[in-house]
Amino acid sequence: MFVKSLLASVLATTALAATLPRDEPQSMGCGNEHPTEEQLAGHKKMAVAEYTAAMLGTNTSPARRSDIYIDTYVHVVSDSTAPSSWYLSRDTINKQIAVLNQDFRGTGFQYVLRDVDWTINSYWAFNQDEYGMKTSLHRGNYGDLNLYYITDIGPNHTNTGHCPYPVRNASGDTISFDGCVMSAWTTPGGDSRQFSTGRITTHEVGHWHNLIHTFDGYNCNGWGDYVDDTPSESKPSSGCPTGRDTCPSPGLDPIHNHMDYSDDYCRTEFTPGQIARMQSSWNAYRA
């Protein structure tokens, strides 16, 4: 839905990138867990409020909302400056932010790159001591986005990223620990045919905005992601299985949704309901 010429250019760059001797991931590996009961209760309240606003016609369409510009800080953490350690360049970071803004166009959110820093740390680079990494490097407040690109969440390309959901009244360590962690090879020009166009970051920033996986609960009869216009699916997608339908309720599986597990080129959209949820969550947690 949002794919434009800039993203096409990034995809071309990815196709031409030199590959390194790594294992090709068999499926997307987001590390986010099922939300807590408190977080799910918040989703239920938002779902009711959004439905009521839609029925009364008091909600504002995404096209009429003014964009919220979010200060964004990028932290590159590697075990060395060697290409095999994914010591990302400023040019790659610029391409990544361009993909993020392209995918979030029309949602009411855009991301302004304020600064990039580079750190050599062999523990942090392989997902050891995330607390220490974040509390040392985090910038800004709870309304600012911090993106951490480490050499490999591991092992061997099996994990692509993770990002904490927002909480109410964040302070102290909760703010310091905020922010999304991605394997650096998922950025544009990385070595995965499936997951190196930059859209892993789009998925994780969706979590930062409080979106849940579309298949959450693995249950056709449950609440799923607590958003009305994402059809139920019983398990995550893989590849780009056009026409897949794992639940008897109306609608095919949302394989093109940014919050599913399809390959990067297949994930292209957020629904109006997800956009409303991101807006509600911003006002509740980060504004």
Q: Which residues are catalytic?
A: 204
**Backbone φ/ψ region at 172: left (φ over 0), alpha (ψ -120 to 50), beta:** left
Give yes or no for a contact between 212 and 225, defined as CB atoms under 8 angstroms apart: yes
Report the distance separating Cα 28 and Cα 30, nearest Å: 6
Backbone angles phi, psi at 104, to 5 degrees: -95, 5
Give yes or no for a contact between 148 and 180, defined as CB atoms under 8 angstroms apart: yes
Of residues 13, 80, 12, 28, the one with CA closest to residue 267: 28
What are 213's two structure tokens? 């996986």
Residues 6+ apart with CB under 8 A from 265: 11, 197, 240
Q: How many residues does the chain have?
A: 287
In 3-state terms, what secondary structure has residue 258? coil
Report the distance separating Cα 134 and Cα 217, nearest Å: 29
What is the full DSSP assignment across 210-253?
Answer: TPPPTTTTS-TTS-TTS-TTS---SS---S--TT---SSSSS--
Backbone angles phi, psi at 163, to 5 degrees: -160, 125
Q: How many helices (H) and strands (E) does the chain have?
A: 7, 5
Q: Which helix (H) or strand (E) holds 182?
A: strand 180-183
